[in-house]
Structure 1
């Protein structure tokens, strides 16, 4: 084989962990008897840009191209460099490689991937960092704050501004599509790539291997085992002056240790004096040479890695563990895969000096635990480079054996195309956002054209007839909607019709078992249950059901026979960006706060189930406040702590992150009918997670699916569980910060818009396959219940998916329109009083009209 390594920088011109990997791989390829080539950028102000030459690194042929002018992250040619691409294409024509392995590409440009594929090579891309999505490479902004792990869910200005970043990434995306395989140095980095839209089927993990001697066995350090911690705890830092490595955060944390004795901190590669407030316990040291590492590690107990940059891997973490040190690292991906929190070190949120100080204090105050932790060594297997080289050679051979292009997937060629999707909706507010606007947004990220129309909008008909799939979300049956479904099928019998709902409101057999209807009068109750029958009628027309929870899907299939697929409520870009903005400021000062926020008037019983546990905690902690938001009627028992109870009004969804950010623990209790609770999604966890506020929740199935106990939240089944979880979180700032940080990560990496788009698209393909194989659904025994609601643009309103401006979003010409005012009033009632309150208002207005 002829194998090419492509790297923006390469030794000896530029030596770093990232450049040593392609060099070692190139040498391993040559040692295995293959022809090994390198195409590399060269930094030298004395040479003219684009100067090229070839020399050799042993049996490896290295083609150099001078790229000095384009190292700036904001330079357009850092990501797209036509001149380099032209040279690369000409060079590829001479070499004719079988495999091209692309490493870092800054200054060379992403189009080299396309050029390599068009040259007939199989193309592998290793993402040593996150340059393909983040111009600054490490998902950290100019203020040294970690950015959103999912770039589209953030608003980071990056090196210029967010719009510039979006345009840059839009140019790079087609180039990355040309890669046959994308490698990530760690499993956590791989999750980030997939959450940012890299197809999961292309991504594999290829962990960097160590070239140094490894411990004989996992858990047995190479040296330093059994060190005594009777004296000062010896911390070390080796990140140098680069602020991305967290030196400023570490110094802030060290200051927070105050006058405590019993610790020393060596700062390697850091120049200049150290703040005198540290009392001489911190000292700067020159950077050490590679052959000095063993001696340096042997002089210390704990390695501190306070990086704010996201690390795709960390060799130093593994080397330190192997030498018997404990490690305190930030939650920056790669280091966490070797550090098991609480066992061989601690993991704290990036950029959080308070949490980092708390972790360091634990080594000082809990010497028994610290003695077990120091010397624990590597708990997970550590790879050596020989194994990595063997794996890569096998990958090259596998790709080469597949030929210049893979054979077409027989199953894929027959897959129905889904290019246009029409959502027709019957409700406003948060349900509309989560069940229509968010999947529509996610599908657009996957290249699918989407529209969202109210069920009375005449334009819904044209949209449905022009779509490859039609989704009816919470649409009550009308004569017009039933006719529309029939017309869609007459127009194209292969177009699937799906019904989506996010609550158990389609089964009249559950009459008498629904929470929250006790306050309705007889007429209101009858109207509510007629609505249930109308939802069911529309649902019976569909080919597939899509539900937000497993229980909803089970029940839908049980009562209708419809095939059902789950689409969990996920992360939308607008709420994620609002949450990131809220995270940009510290929590408001003051006492610790427990928060509970109710979106409708139907959650009084839920609160009552947890109120005794909250009161017990508050009585034991006279400094703790309780924040109650939205619609809620607590019992008289709260009077005992009334001065510490703060009532907050219902706030719009785009303002909620600011409120959630200021509480320390958020509650999500559920009680009442188990079936209905199991059908409710885990939105309360999701929304709090996005601002890193830890949640204690009832252990219903959706919360069990979302929460990893003690890691991304707490599940509480009874009084003692609630008290215990609250006590644990209120007692331990490190635990609160860690649980909140991990919860945000899981929310983004499990339910990012890119991932959600693929899930929804898979559901649509499944529905289309059923319709193609079996034809449209027919033969329901359900007795239809529907009303006549003629098409009317004036009566059709879909709440926009946007963060509203402070001034009115309704054009002046429409503000006098009674229908627009009525729709706005209905939204206000729904937000304030919930569905039951809206029903009451509609019934009362109808009664007044009849009386007049």
Structure 2
């Protein structure tokens, strides 16, 4: 089977994106099953005026074609959801590789015109939804300043745009495209339920949980806590991931603890380190480096608790699952994805989404009762978390793509 994988952004600069990781896993799994795979994506800042996609190679031997979509990445741009230039480049890409099936992932900036064009050409199509972009320009059903949106979101309830006509036209167009797609993949049961509530046909949905690749080195030396609660946040300086909510929650937190923030680019790390020092919060709050996935076993070897304070809904939460695989308990907001794998009071704890006071109360309980962390770690040792393996993920994707070809 000749498969075309399509994603909005790709390349070494985008390796920290969850969707890019999923595409890389997908390509690896499909090639191991003997399929030919080509990738079409957007890139940013390439200054490519032509409509022809540029052929590139990353990683290794994968064939990758790209086009600049910098302007289309603005959420208030028509090109974000309907990009004629990207569609023309995609048409050229299809003529070159002639795929048997097209597997779409996150396509903001490329636009849904690519899906429409593939359907018009009679090609089998699978749309792999990673979030809620098809219904929310900001992807996660939260406002740009981190406020939770009414659910299910409607054009009349959205206040993110001064021009309601833009949102109306966007939603009408994207809904028409979605209704033509016969197979839509979702990444969790929670994600599946929300998509049904937003109007997606239940019969078109196929559950395809993301894989969690095994870690090559998990025999890292465990650092002793010396009576402190060592916490880690891995979400970067974003509002919707709950960074600011977390800082508010620990502002007056008493007891012996430290909190390391990971996932920040150098400039942001320098800025926040200065802010923390000026406020006298060091060494309680510490700016850690930006990390690669292979660094996680070493980072979490000196961590007692991973905190996921997301204000936005999480369709899956890879961080939660990776922490559990490495035997580290998780304290997470009730934001969807983590709730499917956390057993409250066993391998982790849950608090009210968007509520810094409830998060603080949860942290206070763990500081007052340090035995709870020990019990959670023991639970994870005795009941190792079993995520979706790469092999199982590959089998599911292969089954879905084969089904699309046989419709």
Per the normalisation by structure 2, the TM-score is: 0.89
Deviation, structure 1 residue 204? 1.5
2:90 — aligned with what?
A: 88
CA–CA distance in 1 between the matches of 2:123 and 2:199?
24
Matching of residue 152 in structure 1 with residue 146 in structure 2: no
Q: Which of 356, 372, 375 is the equivalent residue of 2:359?
A: 356
CA contact (8 A) 2:5 2:23 kept: yes
Equivalent residue of 1:125, what SS? strand
Cα offset for 1:73? Answer: 0.8
Q: 2:257 aligns with which of 239, 250, 263?
A: 263
Aligned to 2:236: 240
Conserved 8 A contact 2:215-2:294: no
1:33 deviates by: 2.2
Deviation at 1:178, TM superposition (A): 2.1
Q: Distance in 2 between matches of 1:286 and 1:191?
A: 36
Aligned partners of 2:55 and 2:65 also within 8 Å: yes
For residue 110 of structure 1, what is the aligned residue in structure 2? Answer: 112
Q: Distance in 1 between matches of 2:306 and 2:42?
A: 33
Q: Following the alignment from structure 1 to structure 2, what is the Cα–Cα distance between the partners of residues 198 and 149?
A: 15
> Which piece of structure 1 moves more, 296-305 or 11-20?
11-20
Larger RCO of the pair (alpha carbons < 8 Å, separation 6+):
2
State the Cα distance separating 1:80 from its structure 2 match: 0.8
Gaps of 5+ in 1: 216-221, 407-852
Given the alignment of the two structures, is residue 324 of structure 1 paired with residue 327 of structure 2, yes or no?
yes
Structure 1 CA distance for aligned equivalents of residues 333 and 197 of structure 2:
21
* Deviation at residue 233 of structure 1 after TM alignment: 0.8
Distance 1:289 1:114 in 2: 36
- Distance change (3 Å), C-alpha of 1:226 and 1:9: closer
Distance 1:159 1:95 in 2: 39
Partners of 2:29 and 2:390 within 8 A in 1: no
CA distance in 1, matches of 2:96, 2:180: 21
1:234-269 CA distance string (max 9 Å, x none): 111121212222111011000142xx2221111223
Deviations 1:509-561 (A, max 9, x none): xxxxxxxxxxxxxxxxxxxxxxxxxxxxxxxxxxxxxxxxxxxxxxxxxxxxx
Alignment match, 2:5: 5
Q: Which residue of 2 aligns with 1:31?
A: 32
C-alpha displacement of 1:229: 6.7
Larger mean Cα displacement after TM superposition, 331-340 or 195-204? 331-340
**CA separation of 1:151/1:366 partners in 2, compared to 1, >3 Å: closer, same or farther?**
same
**Distance across 2 between alignment mates of 1:279 and 1:61:** 47
Q: CA deviation at 1:151?
A: 1.0
- Counterparts of 1:32-181 in structure 2 under 5 Å? 32-48=33-49, 50=51, 52-57=53-58, 58-152=60-154, 155-160=157-162, 164-181=166-183
SS of match in other structure, 1:211: coil
Q: 1:161 and 1:372, CA in 2 relative to 1: closer, same or farther beyond 3 A?
A: farther
Alpha-carbon distance between aligned partners in 2 of 1:305 and 1:278, rounded to the nearest angstrom: 21
Distance 1:145 1:319 in 2: 27
The SS at the match of 1:197 is coil
Q: Deviations over 1:472-495 (max 9, x none)?
A: xxxxxxxxxxxxxxxxxxxxxxxx
Q: Is contact 1:27–1:36 with CA below 8 Å preserved after alignment?
A: no
The match for 2:195 is: 193
How far residue 124 of structure 1 moved from its aligned partner, in angstroms, is 0.6
In 1, are the aligned partners of 2:330 and 2:348 still within 8 Å (CA)? yes
How far apart are the structure 2 equivalents of 1:232 and 1:292?
A: 22
TM-score (norm 1): 0.44
Q: Distance in 2 between matches of 1:343 and 1:112?
A: 45
**Residue 373 of structure 1: aligned partner:** 376
Please tell me the root mean square deviation across aligned C-alpha atoms, in Å.
Answer: 2.6
Q: How does 1:248-647 map to 2 (within 5 A)?
A: 248-257=244-253, 260-268=254-262, 269=264, 270=269, 271-272=272-273, 273-274=275-276, 276=279, 278=281, 280-377=283-380, 381-400=386-405, 402=406, 406=407
Determine the C-alpha separation between the residues in 2 that align with 1:225 and 1:381. Answer: 22
Contact 1:305 1:329 in 2 (8 A): yes
- CA 1:119 to 1:43, structure 2 compared with 1: closer, same or farther past 3 Å? same
Q: Deviation per CA, 1:271-296: give whole Å up to 9, x if none.
A: 33326364742222222333322111
2:215 is the counterpart of 1:213: yes
Residues 160 and 35 of structure 1: is their aligned pair in 2 closer, same or farther, counting only changes over 3 Å? farther
C-alpha deviation, 1:72, in angstroms: 0.7
SS in 2 for 1:6: strand
Comparing both structures, which one devotes a greater share of its residues to helix?
Answer: 1
Matched residues, number: 394
Shift of 1:375: 4.2
2-side partners of 1:48 and 1:178: how far apart? 31
**Aligned-partner Cα distance in 2 for 1:210–1:349:** 26
| Aligned mates of 2:168, 2:305 — CA distance in 1 | 40
Q: What secondary structure does 1:116 align onto?
A: helix
Secondary structure in 1 aligned to 2:91?
helix
Measure how far apart 1:109 and its partner are.
Answer: 0.7
Q: Secondary structure at the match of 1:112?
A: helix
Unaligned runs of 5+ in 2: none
Looking at structure 1, the residues matched to 235 and 3 of structure 2 have their Cα atoms a distance apart, in angstroms, of: 34
Q: CA deviation at 1:59?
A: 4.6
Contact 1:100 1:121 in 2 (8 A): yes
* In 1: Cα distance, 2:296 partner to 2:109 partner: 32
Q: CA deviation at 1:149?
A: 3.5
DSSP 3-state at the match of 1:151: coil
- Alpha-carbon distance, 1:79 to partner: 0.5
Any conservation in 2 of the 1:102–1:124 contact (CA below 8 Å)?
Answer: yes
Q: What is the CA deviation profile of residues 564-587 of structure 1, one whole-angstrom value per residue up to 9, with x for unaligned ones?
A: xxxxxxxxxxxxxxxxxxxxxxxx
SS in 2 for 1:376: helix
Distance of 1:390 and 1:160 partners within structure 2: 45
* CA distance in 2: counterparts of 1:379 and 1:14, whole angstroms: 31
State the SS of the aligned residue for 1:374.
helix
| Greater shift in the superposed pair: 235-244 or 370-379 | 370-379
Counterpart residue number, 1:593: none
Q: Report the alpha carbon displacement of residue 304 of structure 1 after superposing the two structures with TM.
A: 0.7
**Secondary structure, aligned partner of 1:152:** coil
